[in-house]
Amino acid sequence: MCGRYTFAGPMDDVAEHFQLADPPKGLAPRYNVAPGQAVAVVALKSDGERFGLAHLKWGLVPDWADSPDRGIRPVNARDDSMGKPMFARLFAAQRCLLPATGFYEWRVTGRRKEPVHFSLTGGGLMAFAGLWSVWTDGTRKVPTVCLITTTPNELVRDYHDRMPVIVPPRDYHRWLSNDTPPKELKAMLRPYPAEGMAARLANPVVNKATVEGPECLAAAQPAPAR
């Protein structure tokens, strides 16, 4: 699974990169985004054409749930589960992008868990494929999100058997558009090419979800394959 990621690129580049209709507010670099937190999400605005950015809680609560505080709240959805009742309607009409600059997985060395940070080669912004939902009881609304995972590429598979679906910028419109055929959407659920990514050992402070500063990536070193 992907349970931690970074969104620490130049915040001034976010609006242009994601072709946002309005400049995003309140964005700050984040080096250790964790489940249960509010995360930046890009999706279609109500006009069905323009892109907007909002903050949703990471941990999907389906709109049919009895409560947003109990029950299953997945942070990830497998690519091969898009036909299941929990995800099928969201996959058809409530897709989104989660802006990021990388994600973490771990390798175990003896008794130590060493975080490994995966990013695009050369760094820069990326986007995870996601699904969003809004739970409401008529008096309050709880917007939530989960990201979609797929089989790992050759780089990630040394550390985990899943990785986030990374949507290339050329496919942002197709992924979010309501006019994209389901067959084309499913074809996007594939591993990002390993040659376009890099892996580096990160600071073990990442193991604490409460640590979110740049020290998470301090003195990062190339990560050897296992």
96 is catalytic: no
In the chain, alpha helices (H): 14-17, 85-93, 172-176, 182-187
Q: For residues 209 and 2, give the distance between their C-alpha atoms in angstroms, rounded to a whole number.
A: 13
DSSP, collapsed to helix, strand or coil, labels residue 131 as: strand
Task: Find the catalytic residue in 16, 96, 105, 215.
Answer: 105
Q: Enumerate residues 6+ apart whose C-beta is below 8 A from 147.
A: 2, 75, 76, 77, 98, 128, 129, 130, 164, 165
Q: For residues 215 and 213, give the distance between their C-alpha atoms in angstroms, rounded to a whole number.
A: 5
Task: Find the catalytic residue in 2, 96, 146, 216.
Answer: 2
Provide the pairing of β-strand 197-201 with 221-222: antiparallel
For residue 58, the one-letter residue type is: W
49 is catalytic: no
What is the set of active-site residues?
Answer: 2, 105
